[in-house]
């Protein structure tokens, strides 16, 4: 089976981990600081704070920007559940705005529609998700934030190295959040990173991820153990060196897939918006003929590890349907969830893999 994603771990990562293990300092030490500095430099921000996973990163990004009980946060329903859950973790309430049909990202027009309804001004932040590796329309979103006095937080869990105009994801709002999970464009196995240009937010975040401590056994706020380790940081440093080449290969593979799938008018391949540098965390197609589930089964049976992200939007999840104070109708998100399939696009794809994928589509097309 061609996997939908596969971490690429080389000898450099293995040697770096062994060096840390031999050093005797395996918790949050100098390697974490080095990783933070290099990631901040890569992203173009002043501060980067390494944490234990992407969900912790989102929670931290919200907390350090004073989002909490009584507040609301606008976000997308078409995303992994950690996006919405992190808002709940702070005591705030998620508000879902529909997505664009073309790029799967939150719609600025839908955001403003929600803002106009917010007569009591409880919405304090917009949390965008740069889904599948393409940044949102940040000029329009930042303009809305300025107009309504809101914080902008980027869920860039799938966007390491993605760009909007001349800036990288994680440096397009007030705070950025990254996941370093094994399936991401770069990995530390588990891990995350928070980014900001604010000295105050950086100070709060570093305390928050360390039990609310500013110095040992002196605690000034609520906090958690969201620290990461030198082991993960050592992996991250080596992965970061390779990230540009990983992303370049993903873009090359995406173009090959687009060319391959041009023959099928019932498939819509992903586009790249003019202001964007798409890094194709996922290559997500739409199947227009109502045969999405049949195609998925056929691809899997042919050895192609295609997958659906996400079969239910957040407002359709059982937990959210029970807990949300309002009912949502988000037609674009709901329709998209019934049409999408993601195909393998990672850097490790071989010519033989592309042949397998092509033959799988040819086989299925004969049944359409």
pTM, entire model: 0.97
Mean pLDDT of 82-90: 98
Task: Write out the DSSP string of 284-345.
Answer: EEEETTS-HHHHHHHHHHTTB--B-S-SS-GGGSHHHHHH-SS----HHHHHHTTTEEEE--
- pLDDT classification of 4: cutoffs 50, 70, 90: very high
Q: Which pLDDT belongs to residue 164?
A: 98
Q: Which pLDDT belongs to residue 316?
A: 97
Token code pair at residue 57 = 């990163």
Mean pLDDT of 350-354: 98
Cβ atoms of residues 119 and 67 within 8 Å: no
Residue 325 confidence (pLDDT) above 90 = no
148-187 pLDDT tens trace: 999 999 999 999 999 999 999 999 999 999 999 999 999 9
CA distance 56 to 49: 11
Cβ atoms of residues 221 and 207 within 8 Å: yes
Mean pLDDT of 232-244: 98
Task: Write out the DSSP string of 281-297.
Answer: SSEEEEETTS-HHHHHH
Domain ranges of the chain: 11-238, 243-365
90-105 pLDDT tens trace: 999 999 999 999 999 9
Residue 126, beta-bridge partner list: 74, 152
Assign domain 11-238 to a CATH class: alpha beta
Catalytically active residues are 184
Kindly list the distances between the CA atom of residue 366 and the CA atoms of 60, 264, 361, in Å, as whole numbers in the listed order: 50, 11, 9
CA distance 205 to 32: 15
Q: Which pLDDT belongs to residue 215?
A: 84
- Is 11-238's fold the same as 243-365's? no
How many Å separate Cα 45 from the centre of its chain?
18
Q: Which pLDDT belongs to residue 186?
A: 98
- Indicate the DSSP class of residue 97: -
Q: What is the CATH T-level fold of the domain 243-365, as seen in this structure? A: 3.90.1150
């Amino acid at each position: 089976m061609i996997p939908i994603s596969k971490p690429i771990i080389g000898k450099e990562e293995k040697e770096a981990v062994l060096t840390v293990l031999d050093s005797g300092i395996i918790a949050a030490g100098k390697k974490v600081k080095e990783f933070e500095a290099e990631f901040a430099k890569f992203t173009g921000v002043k501060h980067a704070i390494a944490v234990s996973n992407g969900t912790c990163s989102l929670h931290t990004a919200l907390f350090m920007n004073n989002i909490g009980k009584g507040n609301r946060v606008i976000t997308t329903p078409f995303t992994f559940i950690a996006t919405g859950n992190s808002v709940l973790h702070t005591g705030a309430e998620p508000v879902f705005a529909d997505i664009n049909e073309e790029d799967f990202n939150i719609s600025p027009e839908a955001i403003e529609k929600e803002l106009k309804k917010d007569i009591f001004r409880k919405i304090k932040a917009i949390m965008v998700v740069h889904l599948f590796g393409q940044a949102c329309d940040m000029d329009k979103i930042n303009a809305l934030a300025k107009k309504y006095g809101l914080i902008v937080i980027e869920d860039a869990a799938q966007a390491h190295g993605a760009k909007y105009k001349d800036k990288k994801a994680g440096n397009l709002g007030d705070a950025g959040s990254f996941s370093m999970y094994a399936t991401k464009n770069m990995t530390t196995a588990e891990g995350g990173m928070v980014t900001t240009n604010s000295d105050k937010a950086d100070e709060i975040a570093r305390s928050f991820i360390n039990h609310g401590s500013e110095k040992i056994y002196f605690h000034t706020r609520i906090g958690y153990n969201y620290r990461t380790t030198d082991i993960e940081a050592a992996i991250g440093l080596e992965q970061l060196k390779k990230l540009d080449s990983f992303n370049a290969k993903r873009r090359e593979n995406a173009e090959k897939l687009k060319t391959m799938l041009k023959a099928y008018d019932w498939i819509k391949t992903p586009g790249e918006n003019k202001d964007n540098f798409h890094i194709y965390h996922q290559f997500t197609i739409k199947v227009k003929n109502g045969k999405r589930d049949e195609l998925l089964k056929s691809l899997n049976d042919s050895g192609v590890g295609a997958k659906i992200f996400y079969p239910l939007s957040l407002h359709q999840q059982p937990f959210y349907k029970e807990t949300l104070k309002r009912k949502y109708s988000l037609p674009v998100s709901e329709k998209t969830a019934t049409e999408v399939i993601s195909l393998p696009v990672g850097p490790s794809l071989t010519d033989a893999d592309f042949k397998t994928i092509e033959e799988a589509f040819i086989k299925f097309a004969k049944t359409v």
